[in-house]
Amino acid sequence: MWNWDYVNDLLPSLLKAFGVTLGATIAGFLLSIVIGLVFAVAARSSIGPVRWIVRAVVEFIRSTPLLVQLFFLYFSLPMLTPFAMPAFITGIIGLGLHYGTYMSEVFRSGIDAVPTGQWEASTALHLSKRKTWLSVILPQALPPVIPVMGNYLIVIFKETPTLSAITVVELLLTAKSEASITYRVFEPYTLAGLLFLVTSLLFSFGIRLLERRYFGTKQLTGGGKR
C-alpha cells in the first residue's frame, strides 16, 4: 500500500515545488497588505465617488471565486491589454487582489478603533492628510490587527494550490504530474496534504504564541461581521 521507496523518490521534487508554494504565499501576502492598505485608506476618502467605487470593487472581488479571477487575469487580460504576464506573476497578483479586499476589512476595523480625538488632534495641529495617516493613524491602527493579518497569511498559503489552474508549478501540480507518471496517486497526494497540514498548523501555533506574548490574551477578530 504505502511505498517508502516511492516516497523517497518523490520528496525532492515535492519539496522543491513547496518552495514555489511558499514564495507565492509570501509575495501574495505582501501584495495583499499593500492593496488592502490602499483600499482601506481610499474607502475613507473625502471624495464621494472614490469611496463608492472602492467599496463596489472590494465587494465585487470578495463575492467572486479566486479561481475565476485567476482565469480572467491569465486568459483575458492579454487579449484586452498589451500586457502578458507569466503565470507565477499572475498568480501573485490574483492572490494579492483577492485577499487585499479581505485585508482592507481588517485594516478598516483597526482604523475604526483609533479614537476620533486622534483625528481631531491632527486637524488641530494642522497636519497634512499624508502626515495624519502616516504618523498618527496607521501607527496606532496597524499593530493591534497583526494577529488577524497572520491568520490571512495561513489562508493565502492554503489557497495557493488554486494557482495550479493557470499552470503555476506549485506543490499540488507537482504531486499531480508525479502521479500521472507512475499512476500511483496515493503517496503524492497524501504527502502534499501532510505538507500543507503541518505547515499551517505550525504557522497558526506561531501566531497564537505571538498573540499571547505581545497582544495579551484578548481574542481579536476582524473582517468577520459586515
14 binds another protein (CB under 8 A): no
Q: Which is nearer to another protein, 44 or 176 (CB)?
A: 176
User: Does residue 17 contact residue 173 with C-beta atoms inside 8 Å?
Assistant: yes
Q: If binding is defined by CB under 8 A, does position 90 make contact with another protein?
A: no
Contact between 192 and another protein per CB under 8 A? yes
Contact 27, 204 (CB under 8 A): no
Would you report the helix, strand and coil content of the chain in percent, each value rounded to 5?
80, 0, 20
Any contact of residue 80 with another protein (CB under 8 A)?
yes
Close Cβ partners of 133 (under 8 Å, ≥ 6 residues apart): 41
Question: Closest distance between another protein and the C-beta of residue 183, in Å?
Answer: 11
Assigned C-alpha cell, 146 = 497583526
Which residues, numbered 126-185, are part of the site for another protein (CB under 8 A)? 154, 157-162, 164-165, 172, 175-176, 179, 185
Kindly give the interhelix angle for 186-214 and 146-159, rounded to the nearest 10 degrees: 170
Q: Cell 491568520 belongs to which residue?
A: 151
> Toward another protein, which CB reaches closer, 119 or 186?
186
Chosen residue from 69, 104, 122, 174 binding another protein by CB under 8 A: 69
Q: Which residue's CB is nearer to another protein, number 96 or number 161?
A: 161
